[in-house]
């Protein structure tokens, strides 16, 4: 039997999320009691993409549960860029709104970059504005994108070492891979690692993944990382959320990560499950960023 079998730590995002939400509750109560401020998120949904509708609904539910306000502006698919930007400008100037979120992906007719850039950096609770990415890369993060921010919280909660470690990130998207690199490579909480970023241009991916003390995978390929691609004792953060057909499931599908969980479990020192790993952290970090913005508004 593999020596790591009994020691592998399951990195449950729900535990970390509960811990953070308890702390947020105190901050929210304080904001209400002392300043009469209720943190408020304004989300914008263009079109009727079912996955996006689902994401928005879960965000609304989470905010409601925490006694915060979440309003959604539902716009038709043929909304023009100027209409959308006008709406964002109004929200930028509305003092009761602390966070603005544009649900991605936007319809192809709209320039996502232009629209995201029109959100005030002070209310950019998704952390996608170039100014906030710039602060992050200067080592002074203000609003950290929610998924990488949630991963840092998981590493912190479970005391997974990063300092002097080799962290390998697979994926270089603007929402996961790139900000993750910026956080881990700098001398920040749960940073100070030597970081390698892999992507489709990487020659011999296994060469790098086998060197990882910490492997963060966000490629969007179901069960892509196999046991023979990692070394014993690797800490694995699986960001992937992939729907795969499964006739044995009632719904006809199941959700799997980018890591072949059962193939990698024995060899890993710790691993996030999918679902239940990184997923629960993303909305919690959105709440956290919105509370921060509400505090900054005082
Ligand atoms: P993107 O599709 O934007 O990026 C995927 C990245 O993976 C790209 O940089 C791509 O490289 C790289 N990649 C793809 N195939 C390979 C390969 N064979 N070898 C090496 N690199 C590869 O995805 P996202 O970052 O948006 O999301 C990734 C996954 O994470 C998805 O499953 C998504 O659903 C999930 N996700 C989960 C979240 C959560 O809350 N848990 C939040 C956000 C995403 P290249 O740049 O060269 O194309």
Q: DSSP letters of 121-169?
A: GGG-TT--SHHHHHHHHTT--SS--HHHHHHHHHHHHTT---TT-EEEE
Cα of 171 vs centre of ligand 1, distance in Å, is 5
Do residues 148 and 180 lie in contact, with contact meaning Cβ atoms separated by under 8 Å? yes
Q: pTM of the entire structure? A: 0.96
Query: Residues 120-153: pLDDT tens digits?
Result: 999 999 999 999 999 999 999 999 999 999 999 9
**Ligand 1 lining (C-beta closer than 6 Å):** 147, 170-173, 175-177, 198-202, 205, 218-221, 239-242, 278-279, 282
Write the DSSP assignment of 3-55 as a string of letters: TTTTTPEE--HHHHHHHHHHHHHHHHHHHHHHH----EEEEEEES--HHHHHH
Cα of 139 vs centre of ligand 1, distance in Å, is 24
Is the pLDDT reported for residue 108 higher than 50? yes
Cα of 218 vs centre of ligand 1, distance in Å, is 4
Query: Residues 179-222: pLDDT tens digits?
Result: 999 999 999 999 999 999 999 999 999 999 999 999 999 999 99
Write down the catalytic residue from 40, 123, 124, 126. Answer: 126
Q: Which secondary-structure segment (H or E) carries 268? A: strand 268-271
d(CA 296, CA 133): 18
CA-based diameter of the chain, in Å? 62
Query: Residues 231-248: pLDDT tens digits?
Result: 999 999 999 999 999 999
Mutate to test the pocket of ligand 1, among 146, 199, 215, 216 (most ligand atoms within 8 A of CB): 199
- For the CA of 279, the closest atom of ligand 1 is 41
For residue 195, list its beta bridge partners: 167
d(CA 7, CA 3): 8
């Amino acid at each position: 039997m593999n020596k790591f079998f009994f020691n592998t730590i399951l990195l449950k995002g729900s535990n970390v999320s509960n811990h953070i939400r308890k702390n947020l509750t105190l901050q929210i109560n304080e904001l209400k009691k002392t300043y009469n401020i209720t943190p408020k998120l304004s989300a914008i949904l263009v079109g009727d993409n079912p996955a996006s509708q689902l994401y928005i609904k879960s965000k609304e539910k989470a905010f409601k549960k925490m006694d915060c306000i979440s309003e959604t502006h539902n716009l038709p698919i043929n909304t023009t860029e100027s209409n959308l930007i006008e709406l964002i400008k109004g929200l930028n100037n509305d003092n009761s709104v602390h966070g603005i979120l544009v649900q991605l992906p936007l319809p192809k007719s709209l320039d996502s970059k232009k629209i995201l850039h029109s959100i005030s950096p002070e209310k950019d609770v998704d952390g996608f504005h170039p100014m906030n990415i710039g602060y992050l890369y200067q080592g002074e993060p203000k609003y950290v994108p929610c998924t990488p921010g949630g991963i840092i919280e998981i590493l912190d909660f479970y005391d997974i070492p990063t300092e002097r470690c080799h962290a390998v990130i697979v994926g270089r998207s603007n929402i996961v891979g790139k900000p993750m690199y910026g956080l881990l490579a700098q001398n920040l909480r749960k940073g100070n690692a030597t970081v390698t970023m892999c992507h489709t241009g990487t020659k011999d991916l296994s060469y790098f993944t086998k060197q990882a003390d910490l492997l963060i995978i966000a490629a969007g390929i179901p069960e892509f990382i196999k046991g023979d691609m990692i070394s014993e004792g690797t800490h694995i953060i699986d960001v992937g959320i992939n729907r795969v057909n499964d006739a044995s499931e009632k719904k006809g599908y199941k959700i799997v990560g980018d890591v072949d969980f059962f193939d990698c479990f024995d060899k890993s020192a710790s691993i996030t499950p999918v679902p239940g790993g990184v997923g629960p952290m993303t909305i919690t970090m959105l709440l956290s960023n919105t509370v921060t913005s509400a505090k900054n508004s005082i």
